[in-house]
A = this chain, B = another copy of it.
């Protein structure tokens, strides 16, 4: 769908936390061979472990595209970031962005890019010339797994990418389906659905995961969370359009409140399973939860083992830390009786 010239200069901005550079981190982790430098606006900005470069040096070193690797609140292009984009264009780099504020919608940036002969890639929203339809609810051939979550940023994309990788290692047919800008940048396909007009959301997801062979699995990247005050609508459109046979609940160990919403507690795994099954079963009455993917990044090894064992005990479901493989989820997924 998109064909973005490589290698990449990852634009970090001034964010201090890993979460501020989610897209950059995903690219470094899943496509390290494409990431040749980072552009940080301040010394204290998060370090992705790449060589620091300013755009002109990146161009001189043969890099092709500056990818916006950071995130601002609401996906807005701030003044400082816009200046960095101008700097990259002036240096002769293409720029790729998953922000809500589209680079191509900024007349000044579009004009400058044209003058310098570089391209601006907006990977959020629908590709050009894609005419969306409303959902039809028709059951499609093949199997589908969706990664759902107790919050944003708990590992839904990561878990889906791990499952695809691990299934392929086992010789199983699996395709990762990206639904967010980072996933689109990593996989080179899919659609960042959160920028789709709500009326067309389920319909777009239906086309994202078309009919397939009976034993092929689409591993669909989840977004948001059904109970999330801001993003519940995106999650429901995704759940309906995916009509999943199976889902994994992704959770971060120790997270007790939603990120950015300190007064909103995270649901229990059981609540999350119930809410997803309740909403999904009208599209696929056989939907079931096959397990939990627990993000243990904040835990010591001992704490991790304890957390996994406790959650497995309390939920009765397979619980894995995806960093150490997702085979137990895959076994639960493929061994479930066909219905």
Binding site for B on A (CB under 8 A): 74-75, 100, 133-137, 193-199, 201-203, 226-227, 229-234, 236-237, 240, 261, 263-264, 267, 274-275, 278-279, 282-283
| Contact pick for A229, options B136, B194, B278, CB 8 Å | B136
Cβ–Cβ contact A237 & B202, under 8 A: no
Cβ–Cβ contact B230 & A198, under 8 A: no
How far is the CB of A104 from the nearest CB of chain B, in Å? Answer: 16
How far is the CB of A99 from the nearest CB of chain B, in Å? Answer: 12
User: Quick one: copies of this chain in the complex?
Assistant: 2
Cβ–Cβ contact B135 & A229, under 8 A: yes
A227 to B, closest residue via Cβ: B282
Cβ–Cβ contact B236 & A137, under 8 A: no
- Could you tell me the distance between the alpha carbons of A232 and B232 in the complex, rounded to whole angstroms? 11
Cβ–Cβ contact A232 & B236, under 8 A: yes
Cβ–Cβ contact A74 & B232, under 8 A: no
How far is the CB of A164 from the nearest CB of chain B, in Å? Answer: 25
- Could you tell me the distance between the alpha carbons of A229 and B227 in the complex, rounded to whole angstroms? 19
Question: What are the residues of chain B within 8 A of A261 when measuring CB–CB?
Answer: 136-137
Cβ–Cβ contact A240 & B232, under 8 A: yes
Question: What are the residues of chain B within 8 A of A237 when measuring CB–CB?
Answer: 198, 232-233
Do A137 and B230 contact each other (CB < 8 Å), given the known contacts A193-B198, A195-B199, A197-B197? yes
**Could you name 9 residue pairs across A and B whose Cβ atoms are closer than 8 Å?**
A100-B199, A136-B229, A137-B229, A137-B261, A194-B197, A202-B230, A202-B231, A229-B283, A275-B278
